[in-house]
Amino acid sequence: MPFLSDAVAVDLTCGLGDDGRWHGWVGVRVRAAALRGLGLHPDQASAAATNPSPPAWWHADAERRAR
């Protein structure tokens, strides 16, 4: 993992859901300084999408070809 152990926090919460069954939720937090080193911090231009996403048919075709 490219992060130091103190740069990442993982939280696990368990409880009953609306349907009465047990569910688990995981939360992951990464310090901004660790993201900045990888060019992923939201304030950096490299973190934003610069081009529109491909059309939906392109994704479907790629999935068909993967099989």
DSSP-derived letter for residue 64 is H
Determine, yes or no, domain membership for 59.
Answer: no
Determine, yes or no, domain membership for 53.
Answer: no
CA distance 39 to 45: 8
Determine, yes or no, domain membership for 52.
Answer: no
- Residue 3 lies in domain: 1-47
Looking at the structure of the chain, the number of domains it has is: 1
pLDDT confidence of residue 51: 77
Determine, yes or no, domain membership for 32.
Answer: yes
pLDDT confidence of residue 10: 92
Determine, yes or no, domain membership for 55.
Answer: no
Determine, yes or no, domain membership for 29.
Answer: yes
pLDDT confidence of residue 66: 85
CA distance 26 to 31: 17
pTM of the model: 0.49
Determine, yes or no, domain membership for 21.
Answer: yes
How many CA atoms are closer than 13 Å to the CA of 44, on its beta-carbon side?
Answer: 12
Helix (H) or strand (E) holding 22: strand 22-30
Q: How many residues does the chain have?
A: 67
pLDDT confidence of residue 1: 53
**Higher confidence at residue 54 or residue 24?**
24
What digits encode the pLDDT tens for the residues 28-65? 998 888 887 777 777 777 666 777 888 888 888 888 88
Determine, yes or no, domain membership for 23.
Answer: yes
